[in-house]
Copies of this chain bind each other. A is one copy, B any other.
Amino acid sequence: MQVNASSDGHPDLELSDTELSEFGAGTGLTLTEDVRRRQIIDATISAIAELGYVKTSFARIVERAGLSSTRMVSYHFAGKSDLVQATLGTIVDRQDTFVGERLGGEQDLRRLLLGQLRAEVAFLATHPQESTALVEIGTHAATADDADVSAQVVHAIRVGRFERLLAQGTRHGVFRECDPQIMALTMRQAIDGVVLRLRQQPSLDLDACGRELADLFDRAVRAE
């Protein structure tokens, strides 16, 4: 994955889906993933999901992974930044796989957009920890210059797909004229809002949420 390389016009948020799904592999991981790395990453996901990004430290991670010392983490990852990046990549991969299976070879742009929305909410239902961790990482990446992962990257990954679908749909007359950046961002934020809500209200009916959001944005984008 190359963050700054893009195939066509848009400023700096253009990453093909193929490139994006390679994100998790960037540090040398292959299909025969290092078991230790995976163990640590899973512990990181659970820690971030349950403690929040801020309270997640090497100490908390090794506790969950049942490792002997924090040295284990810094041995397998270059640093905190690297660990977060790898964790982010892993989550994105899993979500991509999940969503990809759901969408199949769907070609209709409208069904593709709304399907993406609902699939991401469905992913939240089956992978609450990954989803929560993803939002946490995204949120904190946005904060500081020396953040552990680039805000640009996370944003591109998480908003880009919606943006491309919208722009394409508008060009084909499927969707009305609108600012795809704002609309995509709102979609992203809407899903993340559900993630946040789920924390305070674990009984939340996610299926209904998915339908509600799909309906909401269907009305918001459809050509008149």
A-to-B contact residues, CB < 8 Å: 51-55, 136, 139-140, 142-144, 151-152, 155, 178-179, 181-183, 185-186, 188-190, 192-194, 196-197, 199-200, 208-209, 212-213, 215-217, 219-220
A194 vs B179: C-alpha distance in the bound complex, in angstroms?
A: 13
A49 to B182, CA, bound (A): 22
- Copies per assembly: 4
> If the complex has contacts A143-B136, A199-B142, are A216 and B186 also in contact, measured as CB distance less than 8 A?
yes
Q: Is the interface of A mostly helix, strand, loop or mixed?
A: helix
B151, A200: Cβ atoms closer than 8 Å: yes
CA distance A208 to B180 in the complex (A): 13
Bound Cα distance A195, B165 (Å): 23
Asked if A179 and B197 make an inter-chain contact with CB atoms under 8 angstroms apart, the answer reads no
